[in-house]
Amino acid sequence: MAEFNTTLKEQGDISIIKLKGYLDAHTAPVLENKFNELINNNKYKIVVDFQDLAYISSAGLGVFMAYIEKVRENQGDIKLASMSDKVYNIFDLLGFPLLYEIFKTEEEAIRKFSE
């Protein structure tokens, strides 16, 4: 089974989750726990860095859908950054770019929060 892990970085009131490995139905709970943790700590400004993510399945995409409403209700947002072409194509195919802001770099996503 492919590995997946996340690392969390705080920059001011923005939380940056870095994803690494394969995000699918089996590893999705790891990311869900991360989101739960942030929401429980009232941290609603979230940037997800996809730079080291090799693969995302539909179940992995479902995780973002599960939290976006709650985050936006609290004046926050989940912004996505640094996706490889392969990962972006999956997001694009399903129409995710209409729902999420996707940035080329993590810095751009962070900057967008402070605007």
Q: How far is the CB of 113 from other proteins (least distance, A)?
A: 23
Chain-centroid distance, C-alpha 39:
13
Residue 69 is a binding residue for other proteins (CB under 8 A): yes
Task: Return the closest-CA partner of residue 79 out of 12, 15, 5, 29.
Answer: 15
The rounded distance, in Å, linking the Cα atoms of 45 and 110 is 9
Quick one: 51 or 57, whose CB is closer to other proteins? Answer: 57
* Cα 44 to Cα 78: distance, rounded to the nearest angstrom: 8
**Residue 62 found at the interface with other proteins (CB under 8 A):** yes
> Which parts of this chain interact with other proteins (CB under 8 A)?
2, 22, 24-25, 54-55, 57-59, 61-63, 65-66, 69, 86, 90, 93-96, 98-99
